[in-house]
Structure 1
Amino acid sequence: MFDWPLLRGPVPSVVVILGAVSCIYLLAARGRRGWWSRTVPIVVMIGVIVSVIADKVIDHVLYSASVPVEVLAWIGFGAGAIALGVARAWRATWWQRGVVVVTVLVVVAMAANSVNRYYGEFPTFRAALGLPAAGEVAFKSVSAVVEQPQLPVSGRALDQDWTPTVRPPAKGVVTQVYIPGKVSRFTVTRRAYIYLPPAYSDPRRPLLPVLVLLHGIPGSPSDWLTAGGLAATMDRFAAAHRGLAPVVVMPDATGSLLGDPMCMDSRLGNSASYLAVDVPMWIRRHLQVDDDSRRWAIAGLSYGGTCAWQLALRRPATYPTFIDLSGEVEPSLATRAQTIRVAFNGNAAAYTRATPLHMLAAAPHPSVAGIIGLGRADTTFGPQQRLVYAACRHAGIDVRLLVLPGAHTWQVWSVGLRRSLPWLAYRLGITAP
């Protein structure tokens, strides 16, 4: 039951049908004076007001991104259902109030799942309830060191030289750990998640490349697993390559659900040093992987995408390969002025020096390569991604543009990562050209 899909199939269809029936019941208040002429218009007005407030709060307070009209409509619809339920319950009997509460909850569930279907944030009940991923194991059960791992051969891809000593399992494993900010002193409040491909469990495992994968804002390290279907994506790739795939580490990139340290070292915290120093240091100490940073990559969505190309430019010796899905042209809070004031104590020059576009113009980056991905219907971040792509091309960086159907949603990000895997596998030395 926990793995029943919420984005397609019978569950959302049943929710829509029950929601429609519940709406009819809430509206059908026969015999009430002024119901259609006064009460229902007031309820509609309440829904509109709530939608406007939600747009302002999300855009200007929580996250500087416009909210799609479809999402705002469902938010207002849910708020209107609550208001309508209050009006129906007024002067009702106790059992009638019980029915009203149930129908309001059904309508709100329909509205919430409609918003969820737009973004694709919670594909299953397991994801919506925040339960551990299916098949998750304790880190101590997979952290053993193999005494004789197969070393990569210079100039050759792993799939040309490595043969499993035992039949690879059908799936990799997922585990979680705490990666502290020992050097950066960045405050980390959540545990990181790790995907280890089937080849990692081989008695003579190859030294696999590493992909550091970042979430957005609001977001958490588990998002790529729950909403993005990362394990299934990597398992499919590994099944076609004798169990080979990158080791994927998903750290806490922001320190909290709504935190926005802008992937910089600033007054908001040394998040850049955490991701470029603490995380790689922990990986090398606790996982048996390829130590050559030329076979390391960083990727992310939205905030994480911006962070990925920032770190590729700022720390090319650590992350010479990046995938930026729906990122921004530069990191910022609500406005550039607020960013400079809050994070850089009013020092505009210091902020400018820290922006990716300045880094592109200040020095060449011959070792860096990446993919810039965007949703064709993403009117906020799509144009910014095209600017990032043009700037990278102008600076001589080997970069590719990936345009996908959709907007600022998981339908773009999960597909974007999957479409990028063949290029990434070649770049990280897993497959030959």
Structure 2
Amino acid sequence: MGLTSGTLLVGIVLGTVVMFALSVWLWPRLARSGWNWMLGRAGLIVFVQVLLFASVALAANRSFLIYNSWADLAGTKRQPTAAPGGAAVQVLGRQAPEVPGGSNPRSGGVVEKVVVHGERSRTAAQAYVYLPPEYFQKGAAERRKFPAAIVLTGYPGAAENLVKGLRYPKTAWTQVKQKKMQPMILVMMRPTIATANTQCIDVPGGPQSEAFFGTDVTKAISSFYRVGSSPRNWGIVGDSTGGYCALKMALQHPETYAAGVGLSADYKPEIDKDSGDLFHGNKNEEKRSDLLWHLDHRPQGASSFLVTTSLQGESNYKATQQFIKKVKSPARVSSITLDRGGHNFNTWRREIPPSLRWLSGRLVAE
């Protein structure tokens, strides 16, 4: 039974209710002196608490899709292998976006589950690719090349968050219908190519995440879908750790991305048990990965940035203001500052529509 299964959640909740009722019924019978009766009472309390915690954890995970499977939770999820025959992209399946007329690609578009193979990084990762309805139009539109954006989750997080929880395809579809943005292809992914939180950094002797997101993904997608291959055709957006990656890629790879959006972004990598040792003593790379240091000490390309924060509820407000002050021409920066907001889906759902509009205005179709 899957970790996000509704049946599992209902079963655990019902089990919690039954055990609580059973504990109330048994408690008078266990209210006797002696260590064995004391252990019985303690056992009931612990069992009910464990079931209650499991119910809350499963409900939260089902809502926010932090972990998509038992293997993902245990950190044993196998990374996808390269596509057969050396193909850059392997399509694993298709699904209809949750929009009006979604069953018809010409009115709702399509979301494809794919494996993207990285030539330079020599690795592969899963993604969800949203193709807008305009992609399937006949006539001159069949030769049109679309702008595209990489969309990254936080860590830990599943790419399904971006489809279901944050509703990127539905938001993009709605914005286009309202003529507020141009049709774009969205490539939705986790911000790592390993089980560890690599944070878009090339780990010495380990996963080459910067190479993958800085070069490989756009090259692979452009070779498989009708997407332009120049920087002006590509943007990148992410939340939390994914926001750090988005800003890092746009800042350090202007030859790939014209624009980057960081929603509640970090500005330097977080080194902890989830990341492991990312630099292996390479102090130069460690400093370079601090985006505020990079803005002060390295040339800035002609990239555009959008950063978001909140006056109350976000811990990155001060760092965001520093980032804004440090961006210099030819780079440009815009910002969204909410009065109140937290590091959560509710905040990002408010910021995604204007972020997509902003991104759309800085990318071009071919």
Same fold (TM over 0.5): yes
* Per-residue deviation, 1:242: 9.8
Q: Which has the higher strand share?
A: 2
Match of 2:322 among 375, 390, 394: 390
- The equivalent residue for 2:196 is 259
Return 5+ residue gaps in structure 2 as ranges.
72-89, 95-103
User: Is this contact kept in 2: 1:214–1:300, CA < 8 A?
Assistant: yes
**AA of the residue aligned to 2:324:** C
Residues 302, 272 of structure 1: alpha-carbon distance in 2 compared, 3 angstrom cutoff: same
Equivalent residue runs for 1:202-221 within 5 Å: 202-203=137-138, 204-205=140-141, 206-221=144-159
User: Is this contact kept in 2: 1:198–1:238, CA < 8 A?
Assistant: no
Matched, 1:115 2:60: yes
User: Is this contact kept in 2: 1:376–1:407, CA < 8 A?
Assistant: no
Match of 1:180 among 117, 121, 143: 117
CA distance in 1, matches of 2:93, 2:196: 32
Residues 235, 15 of structure 1: alpha-carbon distance in 2 compared, 3 angstrom cutoff: farther
Runs of 4+ deviating beyond 6 Å: 12-18, 127-130
* Per-residue deviation, 1:168: 8.1
* Per-residue deviation, 1:369: 1.8
Residues 368, 389 of structure 1: alpha-carbon distance in 2 compared, 3 angstrom cutoff: farther
User: Is this contact kept in 2: 1:327–1:385, CA < 8 A?
Assistant: no
* Per-residue deviation, 1:281: 0.9
CA distance in 1, matches of 2:70, 2:215: 33
Superposed CA RMSD in Å reads 4.0
- The equivalent residue for 1:352 is 287
Matched, 1:316 2:259: no
Match of 1:81 among 21, 24, 49: 49
CA distance in 1, matches of 2:190, 2:60: 25
- The equivalent residue for 1:191 is 126
Matched, 1:412 2:327: no
CA distance in 1, matches of 2:353, 2:114: 25
Matched, 1:269 2:207: yes
- The equivalent residue for 2:29 is 31
Greater gyration radius: 1
Q: Give the percent of matched residue pairs that are identical in Structure 1 and Structure 2.
A: 22
* Per-residue deviation, 1:211: 0.6
* Per-residue deviation, 1:109: 5.8
CA distance in 1, matches of 2:236, 2:210: 12
CA distance in 1, matches of 2:362, 2:256: 15
User: Is this contact kept in 2: 1:329–1:385, CA < 8 A?
Assistant: no
**AA of the residue aligned to 1:332:** E
User: Is this contact kept in 2: 1:293–1:319, CA < 8 A?
Assistant: yes
Residues 39, 229 of structure 1: alpha-carbon distance in 2 compared, 3 angstrom cutoff: farther
Residues 334, 243 of structure 1: alpha-carbon distance in 2 compared, 3 angstrom cutoff: closer
Residues 255, 363 of structure 1: alpha-carbon distance in 2 compared, 3 angstrom cutoff: closer
* Per-residue deviation, 1:354: 3.4
Residues 319, 17 of structure 1: alpha-carbon distance in 2 compared, 3 angstrom cutoff: same
CA distance in 2, matches of 1:140, 1:169: 21
Residues 208, 350 of structure 1: alpha-carbon distance in 2 compared, 3 angstrom cutoff: closer
**AA of the residue aligned to 1:265:** D
CA distance in 2, matches of 1:116, 1:253: 19
Residues 306, 140 of structure 1: alpha-carbon distance in 2 compared, 3 angstrom cutoff: closer
Residues 222, 122 of structure 1: alpha-carbon distance in 2 compared, 3 angstrom cutoff: closer
* Per-residue deviation, 1:308: 0.6
User: Is this contact kept in 2: 1:207–1:288, CA < 8 A?
Assistant: yes
- The equivalent residue for 2:81 is none
* Per-residue deviation, 1:289: 1.9
User: Is this contact kept in 1: 2:310–2:340, CA < 8 A?
Assistant: yes
Paired positions, count = 323
CA distance in 2, matches of 1:245, 1:420: 14
- The equivalent residue for 1:238 is 176
Matched, 1:373 2:308: yes
User: Is this contact kept in 2: 1:312–1:320, CA < 8 A?
Assistant: yes
**AA of the residue aligned to 1:312:** A
Secondary structure, aligned partner of 2:106: coil
Matched, 1:170 2:107: yes
CA distance in 2, matches of 1:425, 1:235: 13
- The equivalent residue for 2:77 is none
Residues 404, 410 of structure 1: alpha-carbon distance in 2 compared, 3 angstrom cutoff: farther
Residues 367, 349 of structure 1: alpha-carbon distance in 2 compared, 3 angstrom cutoff: closer
- The equivalent residue for 1:222 is 160
**AA of the residue aligned to 1:218:** P
* Per-residue deviation, 1:221: 2.9
User: Is this contact kept in 1: 2:250–2:260, CA < 8 A?
Assistant: yes
* Per-residue deviation, 1:372: 1.6
